[in-house]
Structure formats: structure tokens, C-alpha cells
Amino acid sequence: MKRIFLLAALITLVVTAAAEARVKVKGRGDAMTFDIASIPPQYHATFEMMTRKCTKCHSMQRTVVAIQTGRAPITGQIFDRQAVKAYGIKMLRKPNSDMSKQDIREVVILMNYIMDENKK
């Protein structure tokens, strides 16, 4: 009986520790986004910019789902660091994106950070 209790306690600790590392999500459907409170302050300005500019064409739900699942929700392709960079370049080339190379660079860094945190 003690072994079962210890095993259950150990599993609970491991699961809890993994959950704390993740960047939290709030909202549902098109209102889904990352919770800025779970993002370090040095990324807040970039997150605000990403939220403002990226939602011109699609909801943040698309970004959240891609990062959570590792798959782009529309194409089903793998969504990893290489894909983030490729999407950044694609967005830079869109005429209405209103994003500079520096903006894209900052968003790519932020998205890579969020992906890394969600892997923990």
C-alpha cells in the first residue's frame, strides 16, 4: 500500500512540475490566446505586438494550437523552430502584415521561447 501511495505521489509531483513550466492559455475558440501573466516581462511588448499584428488575418487560436500540438492547424504540417522561422518569412512578405524584419525576429524568438516552455 505504501508503494502505491509513493508512486501516486511521485507521479503527481512530476505532472505538476511539468504543468507549471507551460505558458498558460486563456479563452476558447477564436478568443483563445496565451496568458501574458505566464510570459516573462521581457517578452510582454513583443507579445502585445504579436497579438495586435497577427490577429489582423487570423485569431491567436491558430498560433496557440500550433504551438500546443506541434502541427499547423490548417495544413497539418510539423510546427517546430524551422516552421516558425518559415512562417515569419512568409508573414514578412505579405503586403498587409505591417511587420518589419525586427518585428518578425522578435516574434520568432518569443514563439521559440513559448514552444520550449511547453515542451518542459
**Per-chain mean pLDDT for the chain:** 86
Band of residue 17 on the pLDDT scale cut at 50, 70, 90: very low
**Average pLDDT of the segment spanning 76-101:** 92
Domains of the chain plus CATH, in order, are: 23-119 (1.10.760.10)
pTM of the model: 0.78
Whole-angstrom CA distances from 78 to 22, 66, 93, 111 are 20, 9, 21, 15
Contacting residues for 77 by C-beta, under 8 A, at least 6 apart: 71, 83
Kindly report, residue by residue over 36-76, the tens digit of the pLDDT: 999 999 999 999 999 999 888 899 999 999 999 999 999 99
